[in-house]
Amino acid sequence: MNEMPILIRHGERPNVTFPGGALYCPVIGDDNGANVSVRTGIQTSPPGYETRPHSHPYVELLTVLNGEGEAWIEGEAGLVKLEPGVTIALPANRVHGFRTLGDKPLVTYGIHTSNKRVVNYRDTLADAG
């Protein structure tokens, strides 16, 4: 049996506002991706934005569409320059983050290699003991 493709119009998807002012559009989210084994989204991070340190229990792929920034992985030396045409594969269970550089928004397309989007914030884990 052939499955029908899922058509998703980005403009019809909800936007979620993150602390610090970033907008996240879950393209294939938990609400519309029941039979899809990945979760995807487009994040628009304003100038000066920085994510909270966090990890995922799976690999996350992050592709830069517009703007500039830098990413880091806890325990690794140096920063990764984020610019259009760059994709970074963030390992499972490794605390990481990124920030916007310059005066333009950083727009990224993220792929969470899981059938559910899970974000574990380092500060929340520390508070839990």
Domain coverage including residue 107: 13-121
* 129, part of any domain: no
* 116, part of any domain: yes
CA angle 6–108–94, rounded 5-degree value: 100
Q: What is the pLDDT of residue 128?
A: 36
Distance CA 39, CA 52 (A): 20
* 126, part of any domain: no
The number of helix segments (H) and strand segments (E) in the chain equals: 1, 11
CA-to-CA separations, 63 to 72, 91, 100, in angstroms, rounded: 14, 15, 14
* Stated pTM of the model: 0.88
Write out the DSSP string of 35-59: T-S-EEEEEEE-TT-BPPPEE-SS-
Residue in the structure block whose two tokens are 């994510």: 51
Q: What is the pLDDT of residue 2?
A: 61
* 8, part of any domain: no
Average pLDDT per block of 10 residues along the chain, 129 residues long: 79 93 94 89 97 95 98 94 97 97 98 92 58
Structural domain total, the chain: 1
CATH number for the domain that contains residue 57: 2.60.120.10
* 1, part of any domain: no
* 54, part of any domain: yes
Tell me how far the alpha carbon of residue 57 is from its chain's centroid: 13
* 128, part of any domain: no
* 84, part of any domain: yes
